[in-house]
Amino acid sequence: MQEGKDRSYMQQALALARRAAELGEVPIGAVVVHQDSIIAGAHNRRELDQDPTAHAELLAIRQAAAQLGSWRLVGCSLYVTLEPCSMCAGAMILARIERCVYGAVDPKGGFLGTLGNLGNHPGLNHRFEVVPGVEADQAAELLRSFFSRLRSR
């Protein structure tokens, strides 16, 4: 049952990633789910905003906190198309995210299993469940085709 929900929410994150690509952003999308409803969604906006912290995860976390009226996102799951970096994984810890479900692994920056795992670090005051590889092929293909188009210009 949960696998079907995970795939469905990831499809929403993938739709946001496709929107990012249309705008010339690296195609990464994220949604935050609370009580079986999407309460926030965002895509990368680093180029549009000229902000190195404008990652899809951080933008979605900010929206979710505003929606709930609390920085504590207890009971929330974050779905993102690419394995989060250390900054985004750290933000999930600070926000008390319950679960992170991601698509493609990030061999150069992923910090929820690849280069490290901040989500389960024993020295930190919060840990969360990590579910990798949901719709990974679609997420990876979006990234591959985006960078292929950039290189061919």
> For 3-19, what is each residue's pLDDT tens digit?
899 999 999 999 999 99
High-pLDDT (> 70) share of the chain, %: 100
Distance CA 84, CA 110 (A): 5
> For 116-146, what is each residue's pLDDT tens digit?
999 999 999 999 999 999 999 999 999 999 9
Q: For residue 102, give the nearest of 94, 147, 110, 43 by alpha carbon.
A: 110
Q: For residue 60, give the nearest of 118, 17, 18, 105 by alpha carbon.
A: 17
Q: For residue 4, give the nearest of 134, 97, 100 by alpha carbon.
A: 134
Q: Is 25 a catalytic residue?
A: no
Residue 1 banded pLDDT, cuts 50, 70, 90:
confident
pLDDT of residue 153: 82
Q: For residue 68, give the nearest of 28, 96, 88 by alpha carbon.
A: 96
Which residue is catalytic, options 3, 22, 25, 57?
57
Contacts of 15 (CB under 8 A, 6+ apart): 29
What's this model's pTM, rounded to 2 decimal places? 0.97
Distance CA 75, CA 91 (A): 15
Tokens of 89: 């994984």
> For 36-57, what is each residue's pLDDT tens digit?
999 999 999 999 999 999 999 9
Is the pLDDT assigned to residue 150 strictly greater than 90? Answer: no
